[in-house]
Amino acid sequence: MKIVTALVSIIFILLNSVSPVYALSSSAPPQIHGEGAYLIDVQSGQTLYSKNGDELLAPASTTKIMTGLLAIENGNLDDVVTLSSSILDYQIVYGTRIYLEPGEKMSLRDLLYALLLNSANDAAVGVAEHIGGDLPHFVSMMNDKAKSLGLTNTTFKNPTGLTEAGHLTTAHDLARIAQAAYANPIFRDYVQTKKHTITRTNPNVPREMINENKLLGQNPSVNGMKTGYTAVAENCLVTSASQNGRDLIAVILKSPGREIYTDMENLLNYGFSQFQTTVYKPAGSAITQTSIGTDEINLLLAKPILITHKINEASSEPTLKIFPSAKNLTKVDQGQTLGTVEVWDGKEKINEILLTSDRSVIPKPALLKSPPWVTYLLIFVILGVIFILVRNKRRAARPLRSICLPDEKTKTHESNDQDIS
C-alpha cells in the first residue's frame, strides 16, 4: 500500500511540474468561454475569428486603451499634472487606485504607467482632466476618436471603464481601437512594460506599477495590451502578440473566470498556426493613373497590400476603392502623395494606403493670351517675312551675265586676228 501511495505521489508531482500547455494547435477555431471575442491580423487588418463580435458589452478597464492613446496623441509626456479634487469623488473614482491626492503633482509620463500597468482609476481621471480640460470634454474626445476609426457601436461615458449606464462597446470595435493604439510606438512601449517605479514624494503610497497582464512574460509571443474586470463586465482581456513577423490582436469580453488566459492563448495560437499573410500587391505597384495638366502619371502604393488567409486555402481578393486627390495641379514631385486607396474586406474597411506619384511633372510655359486680330496680324507678318526670304533666295541663285565694254571687245578681236595670222 505504501508503494502504491508513493507511486501516486510521484506521478502527481511530475504532472504538476510540467509547464502548462496553453496553445494547442488545431485547424478548428477554439472554444472561447467569453461572451464576445475577436481576432485580427494587424498587418492586413483582416478578421480571423469572431464570436458575437458586434454584441454590445461593457469593456471594464480595457477602456483605458482609448484613454492612454488619446493622452499620448494629445499630451506631452513631460507635462506636470496637478491632480484635482475629482480624484476623491467616489462617484467617479473607486476600485483600483494609487491613492493620488488633490494638489499632488506628477508627470503625465508616470500617470500613464499608473493607468496602463496598474490600471489606476484615479490616474485615469487625472489624465482625462489634464488632456481634455474636464471629464465631459475628454469623454467627447474618446467618442470622436471612435467615430474617426469608423466604429459605430461604441459609446464611452468615462475614461476609467467603471460601470456606467450606456458605457458599451463590442469585441470588434475594441479590437480596432487596440489596433490603432498598437500602431503608436509610445503606447506599445508602455503596454509591454512589466514593471516601473514612478516618482512620488510620499513614501507611504504605491510607487511600483506592475503590469496586470499575466500573459506578459509568460508567453513569449505576447507583447502587451490591457486587462479589465467589473462585476457587470466580468473578466475582459485585450492582447497583442508577435510571431514570425506577424502581429495579432485578440479580444475576449465577459469571461466568467481565469480561463480567459487559456482561451486567449488558444485564440492567438489559432491565428498564428492556421493563417498566413501574403502580399497581394507590393509597394510601388501602379494602382491607377491621373492627369497633371496634359501629362498622365502613375499612382503607386506607398505600402504593400497584404491579405491573410487560411493555410492551404485560396485567398479572397479584397475590394480596392481609389481616391485620387490631384486636382488642378500643374506641378508634381516624384513621390508626392496624390491620393489614397481603401482596402475593403466585405463591408469593412480594413486598411488605407497612400498613393504617390511615379515621376515629377514640371509645368510647360504657357503662351501669352492675345485678342484674335493680333494673332491674325502675327500670322500675316510671319508669312510676309517667309515670302521675302524665299524671293531673295531665288534671286541670289540666278547666274550673273558678262558685260563687255565696246573698246574691250574691239581689242579682243584684234588680238585674235593677230594670233590667227
Instruction: Assign 290 to helix, strand or coil.
Output: strand
**In DSSP terms, which residues pair with 36 in a beta bridge?**
253
64 catalytic, yes or no?
yes
d(CA 374, CA 390): 24
Please pick, among 50, 51, 64, 221, the residue that the annotation labels catalytic. Answer: 64
Q: Position of cell 475576449?
A: 252
Query: 112 and 124 in contact (C-beta within 8 Å)?
Result: no
Please pick, among 119, 221, 240, 357, the residue that the annotation labels catalytic. Answer: 119
- Torsion, Cα 228 274 153 318, to 10 degrees, reads 150
d(CA 136, CA 75): 17
86 catalytic, yes or no?
no
273 catalytic, yes or no?
no
Please pick, among 44, 50, 51, 61, the residue that the annotation labels catalytic. Answer: 61
d(CA 171, CA 250): 9
Residue 114 makes CB contacts below 8 A (sequence gap 6+) with 98, 120, 123, 198, 209
d(CA 317, CA 345): 8
Nearest to 317 by CA among 39, 46, 38, 41: 46
Q: Which residues are catalytic?
A: 61, 64, 119
